[in-house]
Each structure stands twice: as structure tokens, then as C-alpha cells.
Amino acid sequence: MSKDKVYNIIVVGAGVSGLFFSSINTSPGPKLIINNTVRTGLKLIASGGGQGNITNIVKIKEFIDKYGDNGKLIRKTLYKFNNLDLEQYLTGLGVETCIKDNNKVYLKEKPQNLIDKLLAKAKKNKFQLITEEEIVDIEYNGIFKIKSQGGTIYKCQQLIIATGGKSYPATGSNATIIPSLLRLGIAIKELKPALTPVFVKNYPFEDLAGVSINKVKIKVIDRKKHQEENSILFAHKYFTGPGILNISRYLESGTKIHINYCPDLNFEMAVGKLIKLKENNSIKTISSVSKTLNESEVVLPRRFIEKQLLRTELDDKGWLKEVSNNKLKDLMKLFFEDEYQVENTGGFKDSMVTAGGIALEEIDLNKYEVKKYPGMYIVGEALDIDGSTGGYNIQFAFSSAFVANLSITNNSKLV
Ligand SMILES: Cc1cc2nc3c(=O)[nH]c(=O)nc-3n(C[C@H](O)[C@H](O)[C@H](O)COP(=O)(O)OP(=O)(O)OC[C@H]3O[C@@H](n4cnc5c(N)ncnc54)[C@H](O)[C@@H]3O)c2cc1C
């Protein structure tokens, strides 16, 4: 590598956003992609349980809410390259998709096939790929000088940071670029694990590991009243499943949450019905509770109902008529307003995305260019954007890379 060679563009990170950018960027060379791991696109491979959940078919306007408080700031980005544009681009590449699990769009073939196709296009666009090279420092004096851990210096006129977040660091996204950005005076919002399991004090469902409920409402007891309606999965030591993963971005040690396992039913009506059943006849507790609660489409698992009875010290074989009305109310509270204090959320090792990252105030979001450093672009999860489960993170990685490329080339036509 010639010491004085100045690349037109260097992309740091060959994950979803870096590969997509390189596959559509037709700027003149010389151009380089640098990735710290030997294999590229490892998170795309891990997504959707290994099946590549790349986006979602809900209307693009419904995407905005899925990115928490910062969602409204990326509205234009998502409209400029939306879920349908992504599907159209993939179809052009010869990559087929399918819809599964509640509106999620998956790749029909192995994610590796998409990575291979993106890499082939990048090569056609005259990008050279260097792997196992970690960039740890960036300097700017008219051109960008980026330095690898091994000491090699690469120079470029335009620099694309596509290094992802800090979660699942074994995939290469390890946030080693962050100190160099701080040295450049670029503000960073604290990095936190998101889409991660939640550990609570006095977790009662150890013996229900693997049991799930399709629709629960989880509320964060804070002033902003964040809430999430989705499924929950009981693991041996923690809550997980889409509902919990999505709300985890708002949780930290000490936060209180309520879980309503019957969001389609009314608490007062359920208590009233149970009391009526008690007054009318003498059926057993467990059958009465099941009858009262399993009226919506969601059927609560029997083992879960038994567990809640046990927590109220009710014998599922006991007679309903012997239970006081107050006790029945307490029992119903466990189904409608089960309260927990968060002990911890999972660490970066277990979290699918990273909340926080490069502060959006630093970025011109019409271009994804760093305001203080024209010519430097930051895209994807490295930014302070994290989405819910369901394809929203990968869609943002594609959309932001599209806008950065559009800003550099002024070319919105993708071939
Ligand atoms: C297990 C798992 C499942 C997921 N499932 C889904 C899902 O179903 N749907 C969805 O939308 N999202 C999912 N995600 C999240 C999604 O994969 C990411 O949000 C997305 O890949 C981010 O794209 P990116 O281009 O910003 O970063 P990444 O895809 O993480 O790419 C970053 C690249 O930069 C490289 N890199 C990092 N630092 C350096 C450095 N200093 N020097 C050189 N190279 C560097 C890394 O090796 C990597 O190749 C999942 C994530 C995980 C971990």
C-alpha cells in the first residue's frame, strides 16, 4: 500500500450499511472498504434467527414509532428509501424475500447469498476490500487520515463510518471507533444494550422457561409512560420475547414495570365475573380463573395460570367459594398489573442492538454528513438510533446508507 495514496472514498465497516453503500456507490475510484473481521455482514447473517429479517411490511409511516424518541428525526430518511424500495432493490439483485411472523420480511435464501451479491456489486463499483484491519484513529487536516490498530495509515477525501454498535461484539461491531470520534470532538450518547432480556427482582417464572404468551401489554412506570404490546417469553432467569426486547431500551436498574397478560380484557369486569361465578356455584378455582381470563383470542397457558394462583397462595384444587373477594382481586392484579422492579438488563453480549451512539445533533440528517467534518458520513447503528424487533434496524442501516450515497453522488437510481 503506497503511503501517499489518497482514496476517494473509504468505508469503515462491511456490515449491512457499509456493504449496501458500496454496492450502490458509483463515484470514481480509488475506493476501499475496511473491515475488522475476516467475514463481512455477520449481523445480517445473525438477524431473524439466521434467516435474515431485513425489513417489515407495515406502512412506512408506522416505522417512525418503532425507533423510540428519535424516530421522528429519521422520518425523511425512511421515506427516501423505504421498505418497498429495499424490496425492489433486492429483486433487482435477484434476491427473493418472503413475509412471515406478523409482517416481518425475511430473505428466502441464506443471508450469505445477499452478502455475496452486495460484495460483487461493490467490486464492480471498484471498491477494494481489506479485512482483519481495525480502524482505531481518525485525523483530519484537509483529508482524512485513518489509522489501523497495526499502525497502517490510510488517507481519503470522503470517509464513511459504518461500524455498527457495540452489541454482539464477536460479530466485529465493538465500538472501537468511538474514542477516535470523541477525540475529533464529536458528541456520543452513552452506549447501552437494547433489544435485550430483562432481569427483575424476585423473578417468579424460573420453572416456566420456554412458555410464552402471544399478547401482553408492558408499561414502564415513569413520567413518559412508555408501553409495548407484543409477546413475552419466560426464560429460566429473565423475561424476554419481542415485547420485553422492544421495551428494554427504556429500562435500567430500579425501573418499575407493569405487565398485563390480558390486555384485551377489563380488570373490573374480570373480577366481577369471578365473584359472580363464586356466588353462583362451587367450581374449582383453576377452572373459574381460566374461564374468566381466556375470553380473548389469547389463551393463557395453564401452567402460567397455576403459577399465578400459587403466587397468591391459592390452591388450584381449592374451592372458589372459600376465597375472599379481596383475595380474588389480588389474584386478578397478578394477571392485569403484575409489577416488577428491574434488576438489570442483559449486557452487550446478549443485546441485539445498541441504544445511544453518535449524537444525531452532530449529523446533517439530509445527507448523513458530520456537520463539523464535511466529507465524513456516519450511517447505520453507529448513530443514536435503535429500532424494535421486526426488521427496523436493518431497514435503517439500508435507508441511511442510501441517503449518504445520494448526497455524495446525487444519483437516486439504483441498478
Ligand atoms: C443476534 C442479532 C439478531 C438481529 N436480528 C435483527 C433482525 O431480525 N432485524 C433487524 O432489523 N435487525 C436485527 N439485528 C440488528 C441488525 O443486525 C443491526 O442493526 C444492523 O446489522 C446494523 O447495521 P450496520 O451496518 O450499522 O452495522 P453492522 O451490520 O454491525 O456492521 C458493522 C461492521 O463494521 C465492522 N467494524 C466495526 N468496528 C470496526 C473498526 N473499528 N474497524 C473496521 N471495521 C469495524 C464490523 O466488523 C461490521 O462488519 C440483529 C442483531 C443481532 C446481533
Q: What pLDDT, in 10s, does the model give residues 329-371?
A: 999 999 999 999 999 999 999 899 999 999 999 999 999 999 9
pLDDT band at 299 (very low <50, low <70, confident <90, very high): confident
Grid cell, residue 371, equals 456537520
Grid cell, residue 40, equals 463481512
Ligand 1 is surrounded, with C-beta below 6 A, by: 12-18, 34-37, 40, 43-44, 46-48, 53, 134-135, 162-164, 167-168, 172-174, 176-177, 352-353, 380-382, 391-394, 397
Rg (C-alpha) for the chain, rounded Å, is 25
SS3 assignment, position 215: strand
Q: What is the DSSP string of 66-124?
A: GGGGGGGGGHHHHHHS-HHHHHHHHHHHT--EEEETTTEEEESS-HHHHHHHHHHHHHH
The domains of the chain are located at 6-193+350-409, 197-346
- Whose alpha carbon is nearest atom 51 of ligand 1? 352
Probe residue for ligand 1, chosen from 47, 132, 388 as the CB with the greatest number of ligand atoms within 8 Å: 47
pTM equals 0.92
Q: Tell me which residue of 185, 107, 103, 194 sits closest to 381, measured CA to CA.
A: 194
Per-residue pLDDT averaged across 75-104, rounded? Answer: 95
pLDDT band at 295 (very low <50, low <70, confident <90, very high): confident
Q: Tell me which residue of 17, 58, 361, 38 sits closest to 189, measured CA to CA.
A: 361
- pLDDT value, residue 29: 86
Average pLDDT in the chain: 93
Grid cell, residue 376, equals 465524513
Residue 193 confidence (pLDDT) above 90: yes
Name all contacts of 72-76 with Cβ < 8 Å and 24+ positions apart: 73/360, 73/365, 74/365, 74/385, 74/396, 74/399, 74/400, 76/365, 76/366
Q: Which of 150-164, 245-259, 277-291, 325-339 has the lowest mean pLDDT?
A: 277-291
CA distances from 200 to 204, 215, 255, 260 (A): 9, 20, 9, 16
Q: Which of 4-18, 321-335, 379-393 has the lowest mean pLDDT?
A: 321-335
Residue 225 confidence (pLDDT) above 80: no
Residue 78 confidence (pLDDT) above 90: yes
- pLDDT value, residue 223: 65
Quick one: fold of 6-193+350-409?
FAD/NAD(P)-binding domain (3.50.50)
- pLDDT value, residue 415: 63
